[in-house]
Every structure is written in C-alpha cells, then in structure tokens.
Structure 1
Amino acid sequence: MSTARRVVIVLGQSKSHLIPMLEFAAICLHGGLEVTVVVPDPTLTAPAFRSTLCRYASRLPSLSIHSLPPPPSDHQPLEAAVHPFIRMLAATRSQAPGLRDFLLSLPAVHALVADMLDVVSAVDVAAEVGVPGYLFFSTGVATLSVFLGLPSFCSTRSGAGELKDLGDAPVSFPGVPPMPASHLVDAVLDSGTDLYAASLDVFGRMAAASGILVNTFEALESLAVAALRDPDRATPPVYCVGPVAAEAEERRHPCLRWLDAQTKRSVVFLCFGSRCTVSLEQIGEMAEGLERSGHRFLWVLRAPPGSAAGEPDAALSLLPEGFLARTAGRVLVVTASSLVPQVEVLRHASTGAFLSHCGWNSTMEAVGAGVPMVCWPLVAEQWMNKMYIVEELKVGVEVRGYKRGGLVMAADVDATVRQIMDMEPECRRAIEERLAELKESTAAAWKEGGSSRAAFAEFVNQME
C-alpha cells in the first residue's frame, strides 16, 4: 500500500461519547491509518470537551484535527425551552455544509466514522460526496438492537396507546432479554412530542450506515451480536471493537493514595459519570444511608445544576451538617471538578464495589476491572444497561426502592450497600467467578486472535 488510507472521525457534542471515539482514533492510528478528527464549532461544546481534546492532541501528535466553521449567519439556534437533544440535532445539521466542504477538499477519504447520533447529518453528507459512512456506537449491541427495532415496534403500536402506559409490562427485541417498557429511553415513552419523532427518525436512519462500530466485544453480548447478524434482518455490518476505554492518567490522583491505605475490596466507589446528578434531597438521603452502612466509600460528588457555585469544593456544602466529621477516615468525598481517574480507581485492589449510574463507559470499565456493581440508572439507555448487568451478566444488584424520577430513602441505600458488601460467601464466590471470566474476556478481545482485533481488521479491509 503506497498511501495510507484516511479515516475522518466526526465527533458529536456529547462528552460521554468523546473519549471512546478519541480512543478509537488512537486505534486507527496504531493500525496504520491516517486519521483526521472533525470537531464541532467551539461555541457548541463545553470547556471540558475542549480540554479532553487538547489532551489527546498532545498524546497523539500524528492526529490531525479540523474544527468546523461556525454555522451560517442565517442559522437561528432553537429556543432554550426546546429539548436539548433536538437542539443538538439542529446544531449538528447547521454544521453539515462545513463538513461537506472539508471532505471535498481532501485528496481521498476511505471512510467517515460519525458519532452514533450524527446519522442525520454526517452520514448523509458522506453519502452525498461518495464516502462510506459508518457510525460509532458508544453503548452496547443490546442497546443498538433496541434502537434499530424501535421505529418498527412503535409503528406497529400506532393507536394502541402510549408506551408509558405499559408501565413494567415486558417488551422484547431481537437478542435482548425481555425488559419492562418503562426501561426504554424516555424519548419514546410519549408519542405526542417532537422528541419522540426526532428520536425515531435518528434510530430509523441508523440502518442506512455502511457499518456500525460498537464499543463492546462479542463474548460480552453474544446473543445480541448474533441477532444483529441474522441474514434475515436488514442490518448493516456490525463491528464489535471494544472495549474502547481511556488509558491510565500519568499524574496520580490523591484519592489513589487514600485507597492505598484501605484494606482489600473494602471500599465502595460511588460515581455517576461526567454529567449525571441527583437532587439535593437525594444527596442527603445518600449521605445518611452511606453513613449508616458503616462501610468505606470514595464518593465523587457532583452538585445539581445551579445549587453550588464559586469555589471548586462548594459541592461539599451540600452534605448534611457534620457528615464529613462523623465519617472521617472511612469516607472520602471528592468533588467532580477534580477529575477522579475512574479506570485506576476501579482497578485498585481496595475497590470492592461500584455504585454507578450504569453509563456504558462505566459498565465496560467495571467489567474490565472485575468489580461488582450497584446499579442506579438515571437517564438515556442506563435503565436497559441496568437490566443487562443484573439479569444477564449477573454481576450487580439494583438499588432498592427506586423508581424512575423517585427518591431512594436512606434505609434503602444502606440495605443495598450491605447487600453487595456483606454478601454470603457462596453468592460472593459466584459473582467473583463470573467477573473473573468477564475480566479475562475483556483482556483477550484486543490480543492477537481476539474478536475485537479481528473486527477492526475487517473494518480496515473494507476500505480496500
């Protein structure tokens, strides 16, 4: 091959999708491809997004980065009252002309890989200029199966009432265990909204991509993978190229020194990701429950929007009076502004469980570290992930007493923590054996002969 094949990776605006896509860019570079990352106009992204991008640009000097120009002058942003997802789609569409011009300016583009939610703009532009357009799906294959199936599923229910009215009645999708209807993404529960129409439009267009790269590996979701590859199903090629996770930080965070001083598997790590928060009332109930449990905690505390401002540690003021003093020595509370290195925390010998919102990045990192989970889903597909973790993988428990949008009382927080930390030896042995198998499978996926390595090679070969 005289000239390296070029891949253009179009980033979306979601920070939770950013790191997996940049890690995939690193995989492409190491695989001998030329990679250009296209990023949104800076006015559309948060400072944390740009900081992460700068860190990767420094780490990957051969990575080319192109910033799209601002939207055309006649573009009018939607009002703040419009749902954020719809505003994001509109902003992405406004960048389509700039992406089209950039692709046409390049001597050759062998593949365009866009964020999973950019199918309406980036993949359409790729088709217009004659470039194969792929999606990078940052969550699992089971969720992909649900998303691909939702347009047809919803159309067959036309006139049969809202999905939200089904409550916890089970619904089924190919390769996915039956789940309560209430666990589907919020966007499709009520058909009388613009969000419903916009979401189904996005899901419906995914099948038109040249292929879908998924942040998972075959051994983790074998049933869903097999269902999507059924020749009788009109699904584009699916490449399982995970786990695609952040590398360890060079700087050692102070919380790791605190973990060094704790006994093996004695600490519950509590973190709800980069953007999820709970109410002030819920923070109070969580604090009381954690205190009652008597267990050790590393708690990444993120304040609800507008509730704590000013100093970086202002979020600590949201805790009940005297909480830090009463739990000194066994509870370390870290404000989210200090960027706790989640991968290193999960891999630490002192970490015994992970209380998580069930975001897919967090799920993959917990599986790779062999850490059981306490599942507390909050938004998006996290409810589906919870079902998979608890019912299919059997490596976690769900927090007690929780309904979507409800309040978990301190007694339930306490009981759930005790359930996973004070587990009977036979139950603990079963979950540890299952986690050991998954940890081994995670490590094997990218080794020589591994399924993800083979899937990536297949993706590259499609460019020839």
Structure 2
Amino acid sequence: MADLPRPGEYQSTLAHISLHIANHAPLVKEALLELRSTGVRVAALFLDMFTVPMADVASELGIPHYLFFASPASFLGFTLYLLDPEAREAIESEDMTIDLPVPSFVSSLPKRVLPSSVLNGEDALAWWLAHAGRYGGTEGIVVNTFEELEVHALRALRASVSSPVYPVGPVIDLDGPVKWHPQRAEQEALVQWLDKQPPASVVFLCFGSMGSLSTPQVKEIADGLERAGFRFLWSLREPPRGKLENPTDYANVDQALPEGFLDRTAETGLVCGWVPQVTILAHKAIGGFVSHCGWNSILESLWYGVPTATWPVYSEQQMNAFQMVAELGLAVEVRLDYRVGSTLVSAEELERGLRHLMDSDGEVRSKVKEMRDKSRMAVTEHGSSHASMRRLVQELVVGLDLDDDQETKLPII
C-alpha cells in the first residue's frame, strides 16, 4: 500500500482520498504488468470518479480505460458543469440564494443543495475540477442508473461528452453484507421483529454507514417519532471522534435518547445500531424510508418500491434529494439542504414529513411503485440497462480482437 498523504498536503477529506489513490499508481502498474506476465489479457481498466489518475497507467500500457460512475448521471453532469469558468465564479461567490443552470437538471439547481466539498472553499473544488477534466477522455462512461429514471440527465450528458454513455443500473447488492456480518444474530432479530408488524406499517430511519447526527438532533427525531405515532425501526449511530474516522454503534444507545423514550415506544419501535439496509428495505413491513439519499440507498428503495423522505447529510446527497423531490417526484421532503452545521430539523418538520411519507394513497407512493417495475425491467433480457451492458461487452470484445473460437467461449449476456 502507498504511503498516506502528509497533513500539509491536503485540507479536505476529498483531497486526502484523491492524493492517497494517486499515490497508488505505481502499484497498479506493477499489478497490471504482473497479470500480463501470466498471459492474462486485460480488456479494460474501469475507473471510478476518484481513480481517474490511473488513466495515465492505462494509457502507458495501452489498455482502454472507462469511467464507472456510481452516483447519478445528474451529478456526473454537475461535475462537468464545474469546468465552466462562469459556473465556478457563481459557485465561489458569497451569494447562496442563486440558482445554477446545470444542464443535467431540468430545473435550475439551488446553490444551497451543492455538496459541502464544493462550497467550503478548501482544496476539494480543485480536485473536483482535476477529476472532471479527465472524464471525457475515457473510452466510455458507465453509469449506475437506468434510462427510465434519469431521462433528462442522460440526454444532457450525451450532449456534453463525446465518449459513449452506458447506463447499466440499478447495480445493487440484493444480499447485502448480512451473511458475513459478525453480528448476524442481532441482524436476524431485527427481521424477526419486522415479521410481527403489519404490512407497510414501519418507518425505517437510516443515514448510511458514514452518516450520524448530533445528540440535540437525535432528541428532535425521537420527539418527532413520538408525535407522529408510526411504528419505526431506527438505525442510530454515534458520530465519529476524528475527521477521518467513521461513525460507530453506541455502547449504550439510551444515553443519546430522551429519558424514557425506549420505554414509551417499546411496543411500536426499535432502536438499533448498524443494519443490513437492503434486507430491511426488502421486508414487507417497511412502509417508508427516512434516508440520507445516498445513491445506492435510492436505487435500493426504488427496487423494493419503498417511498423515501429526504434527509441528506454529506457528499452529493443534497443534490440527490433535490432531484428525487423536485424533479422526479419520487420522494417527500423532510429537508433538502441539511448538512453538518445546519439548523436542527425540528420534531414538527419530521412529523409532517412522516405523515406525508406514510400516506398510503399518496402520489409519491404510486410513482415509486411504477419506478420499481421499471427498475426491474431495465435489467431483464430486453431491458434498457441489459441492452446497454451488451453494447459495452461487445465493445470490449472488439478491443480484444478475439478470433471466432475465442468469442464462442464468452458467456452470453
């Protein structure tokens, strides 16, 4: 493993990650050369949004390289929009009330929903520019989305880049990590609790593996849950102690909650630590999902037809929330621009959001069910993402210049 960046080399977490990845370029080159020495032919190198410095390694070795973008096409379009000097001038201004004409969004994008890494004025914006400047130089752009979900964003993206765009989503792990998680018995107990609840009756609150909230905010959530009165499953995690650390499970979760909360809600709710999110979303008892709006979480909730209430925390989640609520009508709003340092989401705000979320006859719930069917159809044999994946594989096969006998040995897609 390459050495970690020294503290004086970065200001932001994004810069730290980017530098650390870039420092691995010699090791990646060494690994690829070792593969070649064993007779293995490398069809292509797939790079995510932060590993594009490895494109230099691929070019040096004559290997085609593709971008795999795990976030939405709308956000990919935003990163390309950042390359416009006028866009950067607007973003770097002190006026937070302006709206931005980002081509990958139908509506103008409120500046207040941009990622903190873009707004904070540290070195993160320079790294976004460095990465985005290389996206268009790849052999192709593979995106974890599907045509039916991001019609406008994909159209705008194709108009802005010369590389072919391959939407291949939803790419999600339907099993999740529950099978290997060391606390498997505890995870199974959660499912057993859900088994006892009526269908579509439980609100699931989860802010992702990297998400956590302050103690005052936790108390507002607890009050909001009591006010709303819905059954709930709440994944509650303790904030990290250091800048580069991750949230952990509370040793004693009762300390973070209002006095007596667990006793008062013992018949209707369950508070726990880390949960196998995809397993919970798949359960028939789940009727709504209060989410940080990470893209994987959005795709998982759509796959299972569970409507979402938006509570973004970090990364591009505020933009995802805006897209889901304002552009696609596939979520209800708790808050669109929440982030570390924001004013608290009040118990009353959460209560309103939960009542809208759990409306069994609501328009959002109906649209989410329609998108569930479209997401599943996309990856079937005649679906849009399946066809896109087929085109990508065919392109890779052409690049390998296989003879007829070798091609017949490839798996059928």
Q: Does 1:182 align with 2:115?
A: no
User: How far apart are residue 439 of structure 1 and its match?
Assistant: 0.7
User: How far apart are residue 349 of structure 1 and its match?
Assistant: 1.4
Percent identical pairs in the alignment equals: 38
* Cα distance per residue 1:138-189 (max 9 Å; x no partner): 111111111112111xx1256x565453323221222312220121222322
* Cα distance per residue 1:49-105 (max 9 Å; x no partner): xxxxxxxxxxxxxxxxxxxxx44xxx7533597322111111111111111122122
User: How far apart are residue 451 of structure 1 and its match?
Assistant: 1.1
Q: The residue matched to 1:262 in structure 2 has which SS?
A: coil
Q: Does 1:455 align with 2:388?
A: yes
Q: Does 1:435 align with 2:373?
A: no
User: 1: CA distance between counterparts of 2:151 and 2:301?
Assistant: 19
Q: 2:168 is matched with which residue: 222, 234, 241?
A: 241
User: 2: CA distance between counterparts of 1:341 and 1:262?
Assistant: 18
Q: Which runs of 5+ in 2 are unaligned?
A: 399-413
User: How far apart are residue 106 of structure 1 and its match?
Assistant: 2.2
Q: 1:76 to 1:179 in 2, by over 3 A?
A: closer
User: How far apart are residue 448 of structure 1 and its match?
Assistant: 0.9
User: How far apart are residue 331 of structure 1 and its match?
Assistant: 0.8
* Residues 118, 125 of structure 2: 8 Å contact kept: yes
Q: Does 1:197 align with 2:126?
A: yes
* Cα distance per residue 1:287-344 (max 9 Å; x no partner): 11111211111000111113999986434421122110011011101112xxx22122
* Residues 164, 189 of structure 1: 8 Å contact kept: no
User: 2: CA distance between counterparts of 1:311 and 1:201?
Assistant: 36
User: How far apart are residue 246 of structure 1 and its match?
Assistant: 1.1
User: 1: CA distance between counterparts of 2:50 and 2:248?
Assistant: 34
User: 2: CA distance between counterparts of 1:98 and 1:273?
Assistant: 31
For residue 392 of structure 1, what is the aligned residue in structure 2? 327
What is the root-mean-square deviation in Å for CA atoms of aligned residues?
Answer: 2.4
One-letter code of the match for 1:176? F
Q: 2:81 is matched with which residue: 132, 145, 149?
A: 149
* Residues 288, 357 of structure 2: 8 Å contact kept: yes
User: 2: CA distance between counterparts of 1:310 and 1:385?
Assistant: 25
Could you state the TM-score of these two structures normalised by the residue count of structure 2? 0.85
Q: 1:164 to 1:454 in 2, by over 3 A?
A: same
User: How far apart are residue 263 of structure 1 and its match?
Assistant: 0.9
Alignment of structure 1 residues 58-457 onto 2, 5 Å:
70-71=2-3, 77-79=6-8, 82-107=11-36, 108-119=41-52, 121-152=53-84, 155-157=85-87, 160=89, 162-163=91-92, 165-177=94-106, 178-190=108-120, 192-230=121-159, 233-248=160-175, 249-250=178-179, 253-306=188-241, 313-336=251-274, 340-399=275-334, 403-404=338-339, 405-422=342-359, 425=361, 428=362, 430-457=363-390
Q: 1:76 to 1:180 in 2, by over 3 A?
A: closer
- More divergent stretch after superposition (173-182 vs 365-374): 173-182
The number of aligned residues is: 379
User: How far apart are residue 193 of structure 1 and its match?
Assistant: 2.9
One-letter code of the match for 1:461? Q
- More divergent stretch after superposition (246-255 vs 167-176): 246-255
Q: The residue matched to 1:462 in structure 2 has which SS?
A: helix
Higher relative contact order (CA 8 A, sep 6+): 2
* Residues 169, 378 of structure 2: 8 Å contact kept: yes
User: 1: CA distance between counterparts of 2:376 and 2:247?
Assistant: 41
Q: The residue matched to 2:161 in structure 1 has which SS?
A: coil
- More divergent stretch after superposition (258-267 vs 315-324): 315-324
User: How far apart are residue 403 of structure 1 and its match?
Assistant: 4.8
Could you state the TM-score of these two structures normalised by the residue count of structure 1? 0.76
Q: 1:291 to 1:168 in 2, by over 3 A?
A: same
One-letter code of the match for 2:82? L
One-letter code of the match for 2:14? F
Q: Which runs of 5+ in 1 are unaligned?
A: 1-40, 42-69
* Residues 376, 399 of structure 1: 8 Å contact kept: yes
